[in-house]
C-alpha cells in the first residue's frame, strides 16, 4: 500500500525564519487528510513539498520509503485556480499530460472520456473552458489529476472560489471518488466545516513556524460517503462540539500570532 511521508521537514526561504519547522506527517491509500491552519502557517508549502515542487531545507519527503526528487505521476495535484487552458476543450485539458507526451488521440480520448463521465461531465467533452461553470471547471481540474490514476491526490483549496451549493456538490464528487478509487488525499482548506466533513484525519497547523498543533481522527466524511445525510452529520453533537474546538484552536492561535 502506497505511503507518502514527510519526515521532520523544515523549509526556509533565504535567511528568513523557517516557514515550516520539524513537521512530520504520513498518510497512505484511503486516508483523507484535511489540513487547516491560520494564514501563513505553511499549508501550501506543505502541499508543494508533498507534490515535489519544492525540496525541504531539512528532513525528507518519501513515497514508499524512497526520497522523492520532483513531481511524479503517482501524485495528482489540484489547485484553486485550476490552471486549465482556455483554448482547449474539457477533454483536451483532461488529457493534457498524455497529449504532451505524444500519446495518440485514439488512446487518450476514451480514457479522458471515461474519467470525465465518472465526474458527471459526459456530454461536456467538447466544451471550451470558458463555456463551463466554476464547478464544472474544477471537475475538469480533478479529471486531469485523475488521468494518471495517481496513488495520492494533493488538493490546495480546490473549492475555495465556489458558491456554497456547488461546493457541497463537489464534496460529494470527491467523497465518491475517494470511496471508489481509494487514493490517499491531502486536502488543504481554510474552512473548518469542509475540513471536518471530508477528512478521516484533520491536521491543524500552527504558524511561525508552521508545525502540527493537533491532529484529530474523524469519521464524518466516511459517514457521508456511506449515505448519511449532510443535515444529519452536521447536527450530530459530536460534529458541533468538534467544530467549536477546532474553531477555538485555529482562531485563538491566529489571534495570538
Ligand atoms: N517563494 C517564497 N518565497 C518567500 N517566502 C515564501 C514563498 N512562498 C511562501 N512564502 C512564505 O511562507 C509562509 C507560508 O506560506 P504558505 O503559502 O505555505 O502559507 P499558507 O498557510 O498556505 O497561507 P494562506 O492560508 O494565506 O494561503 C508565508 O509567510 C509566505 O509569505
Per-residue pLDDT of the chain (257 residues), as tens digits, is 799 999 999 999 988 899 999 999 999 999 999 999 998 899 999 999 999 999 999 999 999 999 999 999 899 998 877 678 888 899 999 998 888 888 899 999 999 999 999 888 899 999 998 898 888 888 899 899 888 889 999 999 988 888 888 888 889 889 988 988 889 999 999 999 999 999 999 999 999 899 999 999 999 999 998 899 999 999 999 999 999 999 998 877 555 55
Describe the crossing of helices 134-146 and 105-118 by its angle, rounded to 10 degrees.
120
Alpha-carbon gap, residue 73 to 148, rounded angstroms: 6
How far, in Å, from the CA of 170 to the mean position of ligand 1? Answer: 26
Nearest CA to ligand 1 atom 31: 40
Domains in the chain: boundaries: 8-74+150-256, 85-148
Q: Is the CB of 200 under 6 A from ligand 1?
A: no
What phi and psi, each to the nearest 5 degrees, are found at residue 86? -65, -25
**Which atom of ligand 1 is least distant from the CA of 11?**
12
**Kindly report the CA angle at 123 between 118 and 124, in degrees rounded to 5?**
90
Q: Which residue has the cell 519527503?
A: 61
Alpha-carbon gap, residue 32 to 199, rounded angstroms: 5
How far, in Å, from the CA of 180 to the mean position of ligand 1? Answer: 33
Q: What is the CATH number of domain 8-74+150-256?
A: 3.40.50.300
Nearest CA to ligand 1 atom 2: 13
Alpha-carbon gap, residue 126 to 207, rounded angstroms: 44
Contacts of 142 (CB under 8 A, 6+ apart): 78, 119, 158, 173, 174, 177
pTM, full prediction: 0.91
**Which atom of ligand 1 is least distant from the CA of 14?**
4
The DSSP secondary structure of 20-77, one letter per residue, reads EEEEEEEEETT-EEEEE--TTSSHHHHHHHHHTSS--SEEEEEETTEEP-S--TTEEE
CB atoms under 10 Å from CB of 130, counted, come to 9
Amino acid at each position: 500500500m502506497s505511503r507518502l511521508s514527510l519526515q521532520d521537514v523544515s523549509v526556509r526561504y533565504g535567511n528568513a525564519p523557517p516557514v515550516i519547522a520539524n513537521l512530520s506527517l504520513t498518510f497512505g491509500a484511503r486516508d483523507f487528510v484535511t489540513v487547516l491552519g491560520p494564514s501563513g502557517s505553511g499549508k501550501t508549502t506543505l502541499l508543494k513539498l508533498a507534490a515535489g515542487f519544492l525540496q525541504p531545507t531539512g528532513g525528507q519527503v518519501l513515497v514508499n520509503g524512497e526520497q522523492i526528487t520532483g513531481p511524479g505521476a503517482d501524485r495528482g495535484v489540484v489547485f484553486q485556480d485550476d490552471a486549465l487552458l482556455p483554448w482547449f476543450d474539457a477533454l483536451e485539458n483532461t488529457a493534457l499530460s498524455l497529449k504532451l507526451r505524444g500519446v495518440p488521440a485514439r488512446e487518450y480520448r476514451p480514457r479522458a472520456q471515461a474519467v470525465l463521465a465518472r465526474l458527471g461531465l459526459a456530454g461536456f467533452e467538447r466544451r471550451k473552458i470558458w463555456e463551463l461553470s466554476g464547478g464544472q471547471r474544477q471537475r475538469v481540474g480533478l479529471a486531469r489529476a485523475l488521468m494518471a490514476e495517481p496513488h495520492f491526490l494533493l488538493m490546495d483549496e480546490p473549492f475555495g472560489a465556489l458558491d456554497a451549493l456547488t461546493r457541497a456538490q463537489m464534496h460529494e464528487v470527491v467523497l465518491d471518488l475517494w470511496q471508489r478509487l481509494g487514493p490517499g488525499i491531502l486536502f488543504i482548506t481554510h474552512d473548518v466545516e469542509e475540513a471536518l466533513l471530508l477528512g478521516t484525519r484533520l491536521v491543524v497547523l500552527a504558524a511561525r513556524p508552521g508545525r502540527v498543533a493537533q491532529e484529530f481522527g474523524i469519521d464524518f466524511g466516511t459517514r457521508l460517503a456511506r449515505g448519511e445525510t449532510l443535515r444529519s452529520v452536521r447536527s450530530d453533537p459530536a460534529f458541533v462540539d468538534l467544530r467549536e474546538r477546532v474553531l477555538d484552536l485555529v482562531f485563538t492561535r491566529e489571534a495570538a500570532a
